[in-house]
Structure 1
Amino acid sequence: MQLPSQLNQISRDTRPLLQHYHDIRIVSESYIAPLSDADATVQSMEDASPAKWHMGHVTWFFETVILREYSKGYQPFEDTFHYLFNSYYEALGARQPRPLRGMLTRPSLEKVMVYRSYVDEHMKRFLETDQSVEIAGLVELGLNHEQQHQELLLTDILHLFAQNPLKPAYKEPEPLAYDKDMELASGWTGFDGGVLKFGASDEGFAFDCERPVHKALVNPFKLANGPVTNRQWLEFVQDGGYHNPLLWLSDGWAKCQAEDWTAPLYWEKRDSEWWVMTLRGMQHVDLDAPVCHISYYEADAFATWADKRLPFEHELELAAHEADIKGNFASSGRLRSAPVKHTGSIAGLYGDVWEWTGTSFSPYPKFKAESGVVGEYNGKFMSGQQVLRGGSCATSEGHMRPTYRNFWHPEKRWQFTGLRLAEDV
C-alpha cells in the first residue's frame, strides 16, 4: 500500500509513537469499562453501532491497514472478523450490513477484547522495528480514527440508554462541577472578512477533507459570543416554534411533522418541568447550558425565528483563528467536567456542542481523494450532509482545531449538536 500524500507530513507528538498508541487505545478501554456484554451488544437504531462493534472496528483498522499489509508473517486473529468489523470500505470486500450490527451476539465482548489485545501486542512488536514516516502516518490516521469512534461510542451509548425505561446512567449521576462563577458568554463579535486562506496546511495531521489550503471570500459579519442556550431554546418552544411552518425548510417541516418533534431529542416534561436524558442519567434541563441534540433543520428554524442566520463554516474557522486574540469565546464546562483549556491556535469557542453551519459538506477547491483504501475516508460522503464546526463535550481535545470539518445528515439529532447565531454586517 502506498502512503497517501496527505500523510507524508505527520505531526510529531512529544510522546514516542508506541506511547501515543497506548494512550489512545487505553482511553477506549476506559469508555467501555462500565458496560455489560448486553450493553455493548445491543444496537438502538440503524445509525448507531454497538459499543462492542466500535471496539472491534478500530482494532480491525490497525490489523487490516497496517499489520496485514506491512508486518511480515502476521496471522490474522480470526478470518471472519474481516467481514464482521469492516465499516464502509468497499475496496476491502463484503461486510456485515450496518443496520444489522446489533445481531452480532457473537463474538462476545470478552473475545473482542482478546482480539484487541492480540492486535495491540503485534502492533507493539511491529512498531519496535518499523517507525518509518510511512508507517507513522498510517498509525496516526488510525489513532485519530479511533478517537472519532470514542466520540461515537459515547453518543451511541446515550441513545441506547435513553431507550431503556429505567434510564440508566453511564456515569455517576451527580451534576457536573463546572465553574458557577464563570460568566456566560454574551454579546457579539464583529469580523471584517476579506479574501482569506482556509483549510489545513501540509504540516501536522489533518483529515483529507480539511485540505487543501484555499482562498475564499468572507463578507463582514458578526458572531454570537456563545452558543444558543436551553433558556433561549425554551422561548422558541413556548412561542410555538415547532408548530410554525413559516420558520422551517420544507424537508425540515416534513420531518418535524412526521416524527412529532416538540423539543430537542432526549427532553421530557415531568410535572411541568423539563428533564433531559444525559450520560449521567435523567437531569433537570440546565437553562444556562448550550442546547444540545438538535438537527440542522431545528437549528435553521431557530435562526429564522431569531431573525438571524447560521454561520458559514469559513466564518467559524476565521473566528477560531482569531478567538485567542479577541478573547470573547469560552466553553462553558456545563456539558463536560470542566471548561476546555486552550493553547496555541485552538480557540475557546470549542468544547460544548458541535455547531451546525449553513454550509453543505462538499470538497474544497482542488480536493482529490487519495487512491486505494484510505481514499474512501471522507470524499465519498460529500453529498447531502451539512458541515459542523468546533467540538463537543464528547470530542477528543486534539480534534478541536480550527480546520476540523465534522458532517452529518441534516435530520440527525443523536450527536452532541447545537448552534451559534450569526448575522450580516
Structure 2
Amino acid sequence: MPSVAAPAPPPAAVALEPRYRQVRAASRALAAPLSAEDAMVQSMDDASPAKWHLAHTTWFFERFVLEPVGQAPLRPEWNYLFNSYYDSAGPRHPRPRRGLLSRPSLEEVLEYRERVDARVLQALQAGDLPAVARDRLELGLHHEQQHQELLLTDIKHALWSHPLRPAYRDDLPAPPAAAPMPLAWIAVDERIVRIGAPRWPQAPGFAYDNESPRHRALVPAHALASRPVSNAEYRGFVEDGGYRAPALWLSDGWAKVRAEGWQRPLYWEPDLERAYTLGGLRALPAHAPVCHLSYYEADAFARWAGARLPGEAEWEQAAAPLAAEGHFADDGLLQPRPATAAGLQQLYGDVWEWTGSAYLPYPGFRPWQDATGEYNGKFMCGQWVLRGGSCATPRGHVRASYRNFFPPHARWQFSGLRLARDAA
C-alpha cells in the first residue's frame, strides 16, 4: 500500500518553533558565564538561583503544555522543587530556600531542558499540540523572557554580595559618553484615553490577563518629563540630605530607610562616583538614568523635586503612539545609557519606571480560567506598577500596555523614575 503522509502541523505551530528555539537558547546564553557554584547562589529571599530559573521555566512547559496532552513528566518529584507559586499545581519548595537545592546539579538541569525541548519540538512538528496547548506555549515563552531578566537581576545581586564583587562578564562595554540632555516638560491637556489591551487569546497579539480589558481612563492635565531622572540629578538628592529628611518620605518608606540604613541607591559606592554593574565596579555614568530604586525612593525624589510620579494611564497615553523600541538586553550593555536626543525619550528600555499607580485590576478584569490564572491576579495587593522595560529586558517583550509590578521596597530590579507634575 502507498504510504500515507503525516498531516502537516498547523501554521501556528510552525511559526512557534523558531521562536521557541530562540527564546530557549537565549536563556542558555545568559547562564553561560556562570559556574555551577554561581548558578546555585541565592543572596536574598526575593531572588532565585540561576539554576532554579533554568529549571522552573522548563517545568512550566512540561507542566502546562506537555502534561495536558498526555505526556508524563520526566521527573515527577521535581514538580515540588520547581513549581513557583501555582497552588493548583501542587505543593512547592519554599521560595527563600531555593538556594539549598544543591541537587539536581546544573548539569542535570541542563539535560532536563534538552529533553523537554526535544519533546516540545517533536509535538510541534507532529501537529500534536491543540490550540489551547499552543496558547500555553506562547505564554511560556513570555514567561521565560521574564525569567531571563530575573536571572540577570538576581545574579547581579548575588555577585555584588560577594566580598570581591566579581563581574558577571568582564567584557561588557561601558555606556557611551554623552553630554547632559536637558530635561524638558511635555504638556498634556485633560483627555479621556483608552488604555490596556484586548483580551488574549480571544484577540490577536499576546498580552497578559492583567493588561485587559481595554477601557477608558480620564487623564488630567499634566506635564511629563522628557526623559528619566539621571544619576547626576539623583546624586543631588543624596547630597542635599534626601535620605535624612523624613518629610520627603512615605511613613513606610521612612521606616525602611531607618531599618535598612539606606543612604543611596542600591549598588552605589559611598563616594557616589562608582557603582557595581554586571561588568563589575565601574564609574557611575552621570547622565544615564538612575536605577535600582525602590518605589519609596522614587516617590521621595519626586517630592524633593517638586513633582510626582506619573499615573500608569498618563504613562501609557504617552507611550502608546511610539514603537516599543529602545535599549534592551539584546544590545549587550546590560546597563542604562544616557539619553541622546531631545523630545520624549527612553519610554522603552533602559530602566523600568515606577508609576504612582497601585497594582489593581482594571474594570472588568478576569484572570485566565485555568492554573495560569494564578500568574498575575492574586498579586493585586500591596504592589506598585512599573512601565517600559529595562536594559535587562529582552527586546520585543514589552509594549505600551505591559504592567510590571513589585512591592514598594524592591530595589534589585533595574527600576528608575520619570517625573510628572500637575498642570499649573
Same fold (TM over 0.5): yes
Counterparts in 2 of 1:263 and 1:311: CA distance versus 1, 3 Å: same
Q: State how far apart, in whole Å, the 2-side matches of 1:155 and 1:241 are.
A: 26
Match of 1:281? 280
Q: State how far apart, in whole Å, the 1-side matches of 2:401 and 2:265 are.
A: 28
Match of 1:413? 411
Counterparts in 2 of 1:14 and 1:224: CA distance versus 1, 3 Å: farther
Letter in 1 for 2:287: D
Counterparts in 2 of 1:330 and 1:133: CA distance versus 1, 3 Å: closer
Match of 2:56? 57
Contact 2:235 2:272 in 1 (8 A): no
TM-score normalised by the chain length of structure 2: 0.90
TM-score normalised by the chain length of structure 1: 0.89
Shift of 1:184: 2.9
Contact 2:308 2:419 in 1 (8 A): yes
Show CA shifts across 1:345-384 (max 9, x none): xx85211100001000000000012222011110000000
Alignment of 1:179-328 (within 5 A): 180=177, 184=181, 186-201=183-198, 202-269=203-270, 272=271, 274-323=273-322
Match of 2:106? 109
Letter in 2 for 1:395: T
Match of 1:424? 422
Counterparts in 2 of 1:113 and 1:228: CA distance versus 1, 3 Å: same
Contact 1:303 1:421 in 2 (8 A): yes
Q: State which drifts further: 75-84 or 355-364.
A: 75-84
Q: State which drifts further: 48-57 or 369-378.
A: 369-378
Contact 1:323 1:348 in 2 (8 A): no
Q: State how far apart, in whole Å, the 2-side matches of 1:163 and 1:318 are.
A: 39
Q: State how far apart, in whole Å, the 2-side matches of 1:142 and 1:219 are.
A: 37
Contact 1:334 1:352 in 2 (8 A): no
Match of 1:370? 368
Contact 1:320 1:348 in 2 (8 A): no
Q: State how far apart, in whole Å, the 2-side matches of 1:339 and 1:299 are.
A: 19
**C-alpha RMSD of matched pairs (Å):** 2.4
Q: State how far apart, in whole Å, the 2-side matches of 1:14 and 1:134 are.
A: 11
Counterparts in 2 of 1:331 and 1:52: CA distance versus 1, 3 Å: closer
Shift of 1:136: 2.1
Counterparts in 2 of 1:159 and 1:91: CA distance versus 1, 3 Å: same
Q: Secondary structure at the match of 1:423?
A: strand
Unaligned residue ranges in structure 1 (runs of 5+): 1-11, 341-346
Q: Percent identity?
A: 50
Counterparts in 2 of 1:174 and 1:355: CA distance versus 1, 3 Å: same
Letter in 1 for 2:373: G
Contact 1:339 1:351 in 2 (8 A): no
Letter in 1 for 2:196: G
Match of 2:163? 165
Match of 2:141? 143
Q: State how far apart, in whole Å, the 2-side matches of 1:106 and 1:23 are.
A: 27
Q: Specify which of 391, 398, 401 is matched with residue 400 of structure 1.
A: 398
Letter in 1 for 2:394: S
Unaligned residue ranges in structure 2 (runs of 5+): 1-10, 339-344
Letter in 1 for 2:293: I
Contact 1:198 1:317 in 2 (8 A): yes
Q: What is the aligned residue count?
A: 401
Alignment of 1:312-391 (within 5 A): 312-323=311-322, 336=334, 348-391=346-389
Contact 1:267 1:275 in 2 (8 A): yes
Counterparts in 2 of 1:177 and 1:289: CA distance versus 1, 3 Å: closer
Letter in 2 for 1:251: D
